[in-house]
Amino acid sequence: MATRELQNINNSGELTNHQLGSVASGDKLLTSDEIAASYTTIATTTALDVRVTANEGDITTNTAGIATNTADIVTLEATSLDHENRITVLEASHELLLVASSTASSQQPGTTDTPIQVEFGVAQTTTDISISAAGAITFNTAGKYIIAPFFQYGRSGSTGTSILLNRYLRNGTQEGGSLAAKIDSADTLVPWSSSIQFTAVVNDILTIEVMRDSSGNDSGGLFAFSPTLPGWNQAPCAGIQIYKAT
């Protein structure tokens, strides 16, 4: 074996049971192909380790994203419940007591500076309130009420500008400011609605008046309108809804 060159026997199986340099007996010297293959395996293993680490990072990020989305869902659910609770509170806070509307084709003052009391149809009575055929609302029970009238201001066949006003009266005395509307067309119909809180004691009487102001044309008032299409209800000249706090 001494006459052979080491390169000819390098990594052949003949040195398996001998010692060469620092290689112990029983160890096998690897061929260059085997060494190259082991490097490839190590490199592949390293690459896989890097991928696993990257994937673990992605999983951690995704887990954090899922946690954030879950928190967002919980927040949205809480907001939705909050809105539902508000709606429930609003629905439960007031009870509708009465709905009334005039059947007249119009309600018009006879001349300027002469108010008329607005009527809302036939008389009605409930435990808490009653309304007369003349439109006077009497409170049978003390409490807080919401008064929601709606009118249709208009005029027909006149010139100039008409100034129409309305006001609320408690037991004959005005409360709050007057509300004004100007009409400058010969054929006009303008819807108007309002809602006020009214704290009543027993036997308080609430009325609403409409007037033509003398600074404008002596024309105009409240007018109804009947739709042409069958199945549509009339648009009354005046109507009202009354609610009571519960």
Domain positions in the chain are 94-245
pTM score of the predicted model: 0.64
User: pLDDT of 216-243, one tens digit each?
Assistant: 999 999 999 999 999 999 999 999 999 9
CA 183 to CA 164: how far, in whole Å?
8
What pLDDT is recorded for position 178? 96
Please classify residue 169 by burial: count the beta carbons closer than 10 Å to its beta carbon, then call 0-12 exposed, 13-18 middle and 19+ buried: middle
What pLDDT is recorded for position 6? 47
What pLDDT is recorded for position 16? 45
Nearest to 210 by CA among 181, 242, 244, 176: 181
CA 165 to CA 113: how far, in whole Å?
10
- pLDDT less than 50: residues of the chain: 1-9, 14-25, 90
Which CATH number applies to 94-245: 3.60.15.10, 2.60.120.40, 3.20.20.370, 3.30.200.20? 2.60.120.40
What pLDDT is recorded for position 197? 95
